[in-house]
Amino acid sequence: MKKKVIATTSLAGCFGCHMSILDIDERILDLIELVEFNKSPIDDIKKFTKRVDIGIIEGGVCNSDNFEVLRYFRENCDILVSLGECALMGGLPAMRNGIPIEECLQEAYLDGITVQENKEKILPNNEELPILLDKVYPCHEIVKIDYFLPGCPPRADLIWNALYALITDNLLELPYEVVKFD
């Protein structure tokens, strides 16, 4: 069987979903036999070097850089998987969605109780910084997503079952035990 090519990236989130990928424990050795990683922090490849069979996105879309990375992934992946609550619904970063962006910046850089070093009251303003979006968007509101794996982070068994099914072109069976959160 030809190895499937997988790419992963993290947008606005905590990187916990990538840690859950590693939590598949010894099954990662089985995974390495079945796939080739391309453009992933797992292998430290920064750019796509070929078309990818399966792309895995964790995190929501909160700035212009996240937006472009997500669109770039969709263009280069045959299948795109949203992994975790931030990718599915915006997660914790989306807690700012009910607050105007100006208020968020004011609190973070000017008026917050932890702000001590910004005596000149300067907001970050550099052309190299990504532009904050009006809210944090779940990935499916920006691009077509093929599969959704819930959790914060998703359980390792859920990730393993889903990846194995996608890699081997089998039906994805998700027993209650791998998606329950009680």
How confident is the model over 5-43, as pLDDT tens digits? Answer: 999 999 999 999 999 999 999 998 998 899 999 988 888
Counting every residue, how long is the chain? 182
The rounded distance, in Å, linking the Cα atoms of 181 and 94 is: 21
The rounded distance, in Å, linking the Cα atoms of 177 and 155 is: 10
**Residue 133: which pLDDT band, with cuts at 50, 70 and 90?**
very high
Q: Between β-strands 61-63 and 77-83, what pairing exists: parallel, antiparallel or unpaired?
A: unpaired
CA-nearest of 91, 105, 92 to 134 is: 105
SS3 32: helix
Q: Say what the alpha-carbon torsion angle 3, 178, 81, 92 is, to the nearest 10 degrees.
A: -140
pLDDT at 12: 96
| 29-33 own/partner pairs: CB under 8 Å, 24+ apart | 31/160, 31/163, 31/167
What residue type is assigned to position 140 of the chain?
H
pLDDT at 43: 82
pLDDT at 178: 64
- Name the pTM for this structure: 0.88
**Residue 180: which pLDDT band, with cuts at 50, 70 and 90?**
low
Domain 4-96+134-179 is found in CATH 3.40.50.700: yes
pLDDT at 2: 86
CB 41 within 8 A of CB 18: yes
Which residues, listed in sequence order, are joined to residue 103 by a DSSP beta bridge? none
The rounded distance, in Å, linking the Cα atoms of 113 and 49 is: 45
Q: What is the DSSP letter of 23?
A: T
